[in-house]
A and B are shown apart, each in its own frame.
Chain A
Amino acid sequence: MPIDPICGMEVTAGEAVGRSTFRGEDYFFCSASCKEKFDRNHEDYVTPRGHVVAESTAEPTSQVVGKKSQRIDLPISGMSFASCALTIQRGIGSLEGVQKVSVNFASSQATVHYDPGHVSNLDMIKKVKEVGYGVGAAKARFKIGDMHCASCVHKIEKALKGLPGVLKAGVNLAAEEAQVEYFPSQVTLADMKRAVQSTGYTFREIEGAAEEDIEKQQRGREYLLLKRKLIAAFILAVLIFIGSMGHWVPGLKEIPRSWTHIILFLLTTPVLFWCGGQFLRGAWASFRHRSADMNTLIAVGTSSAYLYSGVVTFLPGVVAGAGQSPAVYFDTTAFIIALILLGRTLESRAKGRTSDAIRKLMGLRAKTARVIRNGQEMDIPVEEVLVDEVVVVRPGEKIPVDGVVTDGRSTVDESMVTGESLPAEKHPGDGVIGATINKTGSFKFRATKVGKDTLLAQIVRLVREAQGSKAPIQRLADVISGYFVPVVMAIAIATFMIWFDLGPQPAFTRALINFVAVLIIACPCALGLATPTAIMVGTGRGAENGILIKGGESLETAHKLTTIVFDKTGTLTKGEPEVTDVLPLNGFSGDELLKFAASAESASEHPLGEALVRRAREKGIELLEPKDFQALAGHGIEATLNGRKILVGNARLLRGNGVDIKDLEGYFATLSSQGKTPMFLAVDGVSAGVLAVADTLKPGSKGVVEQLHRMGLEVLMISGDNRRTAEAIGKQIGIGLVLAEVLPEDKASEVSKLQGEGKVVAMVGDGINDAPALAQADVGVAIGTGTDVAMEASDITLIKGDLRGVVTAIQLSKRTMQIIRQNLFWAFAYNTAGIPIAAGILYPFFSILLSPVIASAAMAASSVSVVTNSLRLRRFKPL
């Protein structure tokens, strides 16, 4: 069957609207405009090799056609017209070494015969990309075991590249990982597995290997080890404590002191070197980098107590000679380690929960998809789904990737991605989101976004980026933590000197104990964890509610907002007109009025007409076929229905046709003043009534404005509409401050004017038309609907189009900032009070000294409390 070379439609010679002859060949067209296009410029659509034909290219292999000739089928993406096929065909054809190309628009595939000696498949792909299209290749990552050297890398790469359909293969020895780009229609993961195994290495799939999963596993292992060390440390510490109190314990009293010391030494050694080994190793590793961290403080503190006690145990003469009483502090060492391990164990568990939100999001991904390939349904891994492929979804199944419904209908639960609790109805033409769950019916959809382009993947990426970002409030804490440990060490040494020189007897032991206490009580962890943990939990909690916050800075600014500016159309209102009033007259009924108006308008493409037709359909009114339809620009329309002459339009249209509209003018004025667009209707020269159409408010927008007012925020509306319409909407919604008749390009300058008055402004818009204003505002809030979210342009994105998200986002930011402030206050206060107390500043006044054991308990408590406080954000509920 011939194909229209412009649009790619199949047209038979009989049905064709137009026909042209070029170079002795006939071309048929589906419409006059296609023919016109073709006639204007044949060259663009026809090559010397012939026109585009839909040929069947079923067998997807790269088989050898002749000597030095190979064939490859490239899946092409991004073709929307048949003329695209030509562009691609010409592009590939221009490469040296290409013998024959045919591009099939219908199957989105290019079949190329080429000489592999002259041109590689990568050259062809490059060419396709150059002319503006994509090649539907999938990427896979998997682990390879048992690799030892660079030659293994070479061997495996060669094996993978040797597979037909593999474009690129790279093996990383250090990461033990292969990354392959391939055509899933020609080669599968199973083929690659066989290829890797045939070279003698092991293949391990990374199934949904989210880093959060790896993190969780590793944390689990570490947690177990920590717990074991913790239990051992506590048991030994208690024994050591009893032993140290030996002179009060009956039975132990008889053992000579020097023996007890040796036993205590033997019990303490494993506590320090096994249970506390990680602190020593960490400290040594930092030391070699000339840096100091938490581990340095713990290691210096515990080992100085241990070493001194060791000297007392084995060389009591040295200590006695220096005039010191021979006391040991093994129990101090053991208890410090046990308590710090307790803190670490609790902290490790709590910290693991801060990234729960991402883990939850990642866990939503579908694993497999059912696609139609070569006319057959087949289950494939979700990574292999290509753009433009047709995917089948049954009730109860997960939708694997983003797409547009082509066939069937259903309801879909999108709450996991958008936060919207009501299931969404899906009809052909509606977008579906990957990872959401199909509820009732079966449907087919065309994949539009796969892999890292899906909404879920973008959300995960944005949340991860947000979690890695910093809030400005953190700056001071960062500067301090950079100098913290060396400064604490200096303070500890100074403490030792002062106690030794000026303190009461026994000076040395007191100096040592206070030195240890200062090192142990200082906790830079609390300072370092205060902000990041809160931001991680806060942004994660936002994502769970369909609110994406770009980072710490946006979060921090959002709680300082004074003014919220809403764009009107599409943000506060639905953005499409609806019939609001039907006022019949002269014996006509409301339904009749609607029937006439909608039938007459059914031929027009005007949005007002569409609103009438939609309403009539909703009410189940059957429409009539209009005859002699005429659109009169600036006036309205004229049509004949069942022989009756219908006029729909403004006053001028009706007066011009001699219709008396005196009775209607009052209504007209009222409706106009409400911001609506009224239309008169006349039947056979008699006025039949007035219909009004207006853009209506989104449900809930009024409540949102009220709530923002209650929160003490100034609310403005900005609109390109005329003042009357804008103010009418403002009145309905409760916004007194209306900026009307603002051109789209001037919205940004209106925002900056407000900022000039010292206001901190949030702009709420749809993110596409309002991008400059969103960027200008201190916080740009983009309202998305499904997959069309312009997430990059804004600071905060509301995934579902629900305005309540604005309130939730502000509340969440306030709550998060409150938690951060509490954390920072606690961490600063703790360290600034704790360190001097440990140094003994209270001793001259109240004779209070802090034991190092108490110091270690306080230290452990401080970092655990900071993380636990941040975790409270997980319970944040939007009001």
Chain B
Amino acid sequence: MNLMQVLVTLGGVLTIGWVIWFFLLAKGESARAQADTSGIQEVRVSVKGGYSPDILVVQRGKPVRIHFYRDETAECSERVIFSDFGINQFLPAYQTTMVDFTPDRQGEFDFHCGMNMLRGKLIVE
């Protein structure tokens, strides 16, 4: 094994480690929904190659309204799915789309794009 090969191997192993760390061990950014005067818990989420914030904290039994602003045309994010609540919403590009529902049970629920590539979490307290 020459020097070049050693360097490439070393670099490769490091890159694999970095890929795993960077993509799989990422921690999300969380936001707590704010209740407005009429008692609706509202939270804004921007959609561009992912959801920011991607951890939404809401309270059980109160109506939730999530404003999704889809800031791209990339097809991946065109639908947002909360399968536990039967929501499969189309998000038009460069527009805000509201998703309304009332979480009736506590727990952590995933939401994601149509192909489960972009993911977020809904925490119901």
Contacts and interface: CB of A to CB of B under 8 A. Distances in A.
A507 to B, nearest CB: 9
Contact of A532 (B75, B92, B114): B114
A529 B115 contact: yes
The winner among B19, B72, B75 for most chain A CB atoms within 10 A is B75
Interface in B95-110: 95-98
A292 B54 CA distance: 15
Interface string B19-51: 110111010000000000000000010001111
A608 interface: no
Interface in B1-30: 1, 4-5, 8-9, 12-13, 15-16, 19-20, 22-24, 26
A282 B74 contact: yes
Given A175-B96, A292-B23, A470-B83, A211 B115 contact: no
Given A466-B86, A501-B8, A291 B117 contact: yes
Nearest to A292: B23
Contacts of A527: 115
A278 B9 CA distance: 32
Contacts of B67: 174-175
Contacts of B75: 222, 344, 348
A413 B72 CA distance: 44
A500 B5 CA distance: 7
A465 interface: yes
A214 B90 contact: yes
A446 B12 CA distance: 74
B115 A481 contact: yes
Contacts of B83: 468-470
Contacts of B48: 285
Contacts of B49: 282-289, 291, 293, 295
Which range contains the number of B residues in contact with the other chain?
A: 35 or more
Nearest to B88: A468
A39 B95 CA distance: 64
B92 A214 contact: yes
B117 A485 contact: yes
A486 interface: yes
Contacts of A466: 86
Interface stretch (A24-32, A263-271, A490-498, A618-626): A490-498
Interface string A330-360: 0000000000000010001000000000000
The winner among A284, A477, A497 for most chain B CB atoms within 10 A is A497
A211 B90 contact: yes
Contacts of A284: 49
A236 to B, nearest CB: 22
Contact of B92 (A215, A281, A295, A322): A215
A868 interface: no
A278 B74 contact: yes
A293 B114 CA distance: 12
A214 B96 CA distance: 13
B81 A174 contact: no
A482 B119 CA distance: 8
Interface in B36-92: 44, 48-52, 54, 67, 69, 72-76, 81-83, 86-90, 92
B114 A281 contact: no
Contacts of B26: 289-291
B116 A286 contact: no
Nearest to B36: A170
A464 B89 CA distance: 9
A452 to B, nearest CB: 12
Interface string A307-348: 000000000000000100000000000000000000010001
A551 interface: yes
Contacts of A290: 22-23, 26
A489 interface: yes
Interface string A660-704: 000000000000000000000000000000000000000000000
B93 interface: yes
A528 interface: yes
B72 A282 contact: yes
Interface in A491-516: 493-494, 496-497, 500-501
A298 to B, nearest CB: 11
Nearest to A480: B116
B96 A467 contact: no
A765 B79 CA distance: 36
A215 B20 contact: no
B24 A295 contact: no
A477 B83 CA distance: 15
B124 interface: no
A486 B8 contact: no
A286 B48 CA distance: 7
A497 B98 CA distance: 47
B123 interface: no
Nearest to A468: B88
A486 B20 contact: yes
A493 B117 contact: no
B117 A468 contact: no
Contacts of A288: 49-50
B79 to A, nearest CB: 9
A212 B88 CA distance: 12
Nearest to B22: A290
Interface string A230-268: 000000000000000000000000000000000000000
A746 interface: no
A348 B114 CA distance: 13
A500 B6 CA distance: 10
Given A222-B73, A285-B50, A493-B15, A524 B115 contact: yes
A466 B4 CA distance: 56
Contact of A295 (B54, B76, B88): B76
A290 B26 CA distance: 6
A106 interface: no
A800 to B, nearest CB: 24
29 contacts: A174-B67, A174-B96, A211-B89, A214-B90, A278-B73, A278-B74, A282-B49, A285-B48, A285-B72, A285-B74, A286-B49, A288-B50, A290-B22, A293-B76, A293-B115, A295-B49, A295-B76, A469-B86, A469-B88, A477-B116, A485-B117, A490-B16, A497-B12, A500-B8, A525-B115, A527-B115, A528-B114, A528-B115, A551-B86
Given A212-B90, A283-B49, A286-B50, 13 more contacts: A172-B96, A174-B44, A175-B67, A285-B49, A288-B49, A293-B49, A293-B117, A464-B88, A469-B86, A494-B12, A496-B12, A497-B9, A500-B5
